[in-house]
Amino acid sequence: MDKSKIPAGQADALGALLDDHRAVKTLFKTFKDTEDRDGKESIAREVCQQLTVHATIEEEIFYPALRGVSDSIDDMLDEAKVEHQVAKDLIAAIEEDPGGDMLEANFTVLSEYVSHHVAEEEGELFNNVIKEKIDLRDVAPLMAARKEELTQEPS
């Protein structure tokens, strides 16, 4: 999704989520290109942290702001909730044993799963938000403040 084409009422909120998606996508590629085991573990920890913060912001602020606008958006939010839970389960497996034998497998599945989720979110949910002209101007600062709060907390 091209950030420059997002209407003003949604630009800050959707733009912030798009930035998160791009950052994690870059880290997934870096993980794949890294040969060093310590490097892979460090990248995996960073991805898990970023995804946890991102999912929290969506679940606490973004998704509730969309709930009830339309049945189709509600259906997408229900699916996103399930997808988030699966991602959280994979994140927990990675965080429990980042140096373990299953790191590559868990991280690969997480990468594929998150890529699928992002494609649906950007291609369907965000497009419906724009189509429905949902004003997210009040939501964006709440999202930014919550992200700041979550990234300042000790791990």
pLDDT tens readout for residues 5-63: 899 999 999 999 999 999 999 999 999 999 999 999 999 999 999 999 999 999 999 99
Backbone angles phi, psi at 87, to 5 degrees: -60, -40
> Mean pLDDT for the chain?
94
pLDDT at position 102 over 70: yes
Rounded CA separation 119/139 (Å): 22
- DSSP H/E element including 49: helix 37-57
Residue 154 confidence (pLDDT): 61
Give the residue with greater pLDDT, 90 vs 153: 90
pLDDT at position 146 over 80: yes
Residue 99 confidence (pLDDT): 85
- Residue 4's pLDDT band (cuts 50, 70, 90): confident
The angle, 0 to 180 degrees and rounded to 10, between the axes of the packed helices 37-57 and 139-152 is 140
Residue 153 confidence (pLDDT): 62
User: What's the angle, vertex CA 24, arms to CA 128 and CA 72, rounded to 5?
Assistant: 15
